[in-house]
Structure formats: C-alpha cells, structure tokens
Structure 1
Amino acid sequence: MKGGGFGIRLWGFDIAEGERPSSDVLAELWRPFFETGLELFGTERVILESNYPVDGQTTTFTALWNAFKRLTRGCSDDEKRMLYRENANRAYRLGLET
C-alpha cells in the first residue's frame, strides 16, 4: 500500500481552503488511516510517499514529511527503514544499496 496522497481534498479532511495545518495536526487527522493500513498490510508492504505537488492542496512538503515522522514514532528502526526506503526499493526494483 502506498501511504500517501492524504493531502488531496478528495479525502474530505476538515482543512479550510488555503489553510496549512502543522505536522502534528496532519498526523492526528491521518493516524486512523495510516494505522489501519499498517494493521492490514504490515510494515513490509507499506511505502510512505509524497503525492506532491497534488498534496499541496492542503499541506506543505515539509509538514507532510514531518507528519509521517510523527506517525512512525512508535516504529522500530527496521520498520522505519522498510516504510521509508526498502519497500520502495524492492517494489520498484530501484537497485539501491541497503
């Protein structure tokens, strides 16, 4: 599962037009979806990604990635490595050194 695109207005989060919430607000809005994805697919099958510039409808690039950092605070270093890098490396056959 690609864990991204949460900034798209289609999701219906209560974010006013032109408002740019902080990463902690975003993390709390997105947490139920993120945690459900991890529960259903496991950290070995989730890729954190930015859907920027489309996510720019409701957030900044920095706030988006800081929200992901907040969402993954409870994950181990190995789980974070999978979510942020290894799963994408494997799925897209990027050939990045691990």
Structure 2
Amino acid sequence: MRIKVRYFARFRSLVGIGEEELEVPEGTTVGELISLLKERHPVLREEVFAEDDDLADVNISRNGSYASFDEVLEEGDVVALFPPVSGG
C-alpha cells in the first residue's frame, strides 16, 4: 500500500526533501514505518532518534492527528514528522 511521509522544519533539512511516497506492506504500524525511515535516512537515526528510541525531539501525526506507534497504517495515509512546539 502507498503512504505519504511529510517532513517539516528540521526534519526537512536533515533528509533534504519535504515529502515522499512509500510502498509499505499491509498491516505496517507507525512504529514500523519509523524504523523504515531510519533505515532509508540514516541521518534521522543519528540526529533525531536516540538509540533507546527516545522521541522527545519529534512529533508524529497520522492524517493530521497525533499518532501512537501501534497505530496500523492504511492506504493513502499521510504521516508527518515535525518538531515539538511550545508556547507561552
């Protein structure tokens, strides 16, 4: 199935693209997609994801809503990686 991955801010700079379409197997979870992205773009593994997969420096959304790692992706989903936001 095809999904789209969008990269924002720092992540766009690191991987050098704003978005890409990927073919992933049926039943792929958000967590499995993140593992795939770390393989495709080693800079994400080196610069963003700590060895213990501490995700303090990244937010992940699926179709515009925050996503958990166990969510199963569906055909046409849009997954976005973006930095944490804060305000006052």
Calculate the TM-score normalised by the size of structure 2.
Answer: 0.33
Larger of the two Rg values belongs to structure = 1
Larger strand proportion of the pair: 2
Calculate the TM-score normalised by the size of structure 1.
Answer: 0.31
Larger helix proportion of the pair: 1
